[in-house]
Amino acid sequence: MKTKLFRTFLVLTVLMVAIVPTAFADNGTDSSALRAAVTVAGIRAHQQQFQNFANADPDGTRVAGLPGHDASAAYVAAQATAAGYTVTMQPFSYELFQEFATPILDRTLPTFFSYPANDLAGFATMVYSGSNNVTALVIPTNDIVIPPGPVPSTSNSGCEASDFPTAVSGNIALVQRGTCFFSVKAANALAAGAVGVIIFNEGQPGRTAAFGGTLGGTVSPTLPVVGAAFAVGEELYNLSQQPGGVTVHMFTDTATTIEVTNNVIAETPGGRSDRVVVVGAHLDSVPEGPGINDNGSGSATILEIALQMADLGIQPRNQVRFIWFSAEEAGLIGSQFYVDGLSNNQIKKISVMLNFDMVGSPNFARFVYDGDGSGTGTAGPNGSDVVEDVFLDYFAEEGLFNEPTAFDGRSDYGPFIDVGIPAGGLFTGAEVLKSAAQAAIYGGTVGDQFDPCYHQACDTFAGTNTALPLQALDEMSDAAAHAVLTFAMTTSSVNGTDKGNGSGSPDFEYQGSLLKK
């Protein structure tokens, strides 16, 4: 079966007429040699090195700015340099948030109950929360909606200073998720004199569980902020309306420090510098573990593609810029820093951004970013549909079923699409549960997460050394290699003449893996 892109090119060539030139042509790129050279064994060798660096780290991780990540970055830079790439270490500082003890949220009056920490039915500390150990009344803000209204969100609780009664001062503010950023709600609570903040979920389907959120930066060294399940907030709200109210004990033990880390950038020495192909993956892990799937899989894959392109002597028509971003897990800090440093002219010279974040999940599915928005309702900037088509046509040729995944702000493509750069990529799933229909197609376990070790200590080399994640790596690395070479060799602009016109979605609910609103 001919690909859709090739069919379009053939028709236009034969008819020798077109009102508008095609936005992209792949020129019949044959990626078979590169795909054959990019092997699972090669990718796994890099993942093993990442595991070794985590093992040598005092905390057993590859968190940005700490030894495990520094060693990973040095390894990638050395490999790319030896292969002939022009390598740059791009340093930046960021706020590293760490939690040192299990948080506590106990109802002490009118009766005692301990809400489970780090549990979907309970609560979790928000990233950049401060530390404190307080027992106080719970005072609800205005505009709490119980029962919850329809989707989309109907509550703007805590979004305005006037939402906080005077009684909040010296007590714990109860705030409902919705409308504005968590950071706004927390800042308003702090200004009102609160000694702690409980932000509970709204209650609509899909918005009931406790959630991991980010405040986007340090709010206060003494203000604990947690994200709680709707049921927790509903109970506290109802009890607060009774005589005597409700009292809780809150405890968090956290610290935020300034760390210096690096993006690693490796460019081909040749190729058109006005049609740069950015190939990205994040190199850092979460504090919970070594991150060998998230995102050792994407980082190792693009490294192996880069090495094999050099080994095969491929001279790209367009410059290819491989970037291993740091501090993605802290909220896309590295990719945002990179994009913020680009001039308007440099932005216009980037033709496409290909993102590979988690491509070897143990209970995988094949997801392609939905460039045209037809499957998820959220499209990327002009040209992202072309990127999607390259992957869809490749999988169609290979007879491999795939599904769309949304541009929701959860990975390093976010800052690129915010400035109008076309983007796309692959993903094999994280915390979402696999359906029976998906298990029938891909194999694996019904009702289990696509990555059962997502953001956990068990995301290790050994934990990704079974048949399914190795199959995922094999299939997705081939698709990645094909797309990289296709865009490296094309003679056409990905999005015609409309390059670098900002049309992204800066109001995403997510900042990396963390909810921000």
Q: Are 198 and 140 in contact (CB under 8 A)?
A: no
Q: Are 371 and 352 in contact (CB under 8 A)?
A: no
Label residue 147 exposed, middle or buried (CB < 10 Å: 0-12, 13-18, 19+).
exposed
Output the CA–CA distances (angstroms, integers) from residue 54 to 58, 263, 288, in the order listed.
8, 18, 11
Nearest to 509 by CA among 153, 123, 122: 153
Q: Which of 259, 267, 288, 328 is catalytic?
A: 328
Output the CA–CA distances (angstroms, integers) from residue 413 to 278, 374, 487, in the order listed.
10, 19, 17
Neighbours of 227 (CB within 10 A): 26
Label residue 6 exposed, middle or buried (CB < 10 Å: 0-12, 13-18, 19+).
middle
Neighbours of 115 (CB within 10 A): 23
In the residue annotation, 329 being an active-site residue is answered as no
Q: Cα angle vertex 494, ends 488, 498, to 5°? A: 140
- Distance spanning both ends of the chain, measured CA to CA: 45
Q: Are 146 and 256 in contact (CB under 8 A)?
A: no
Catalytic positions, please?
328
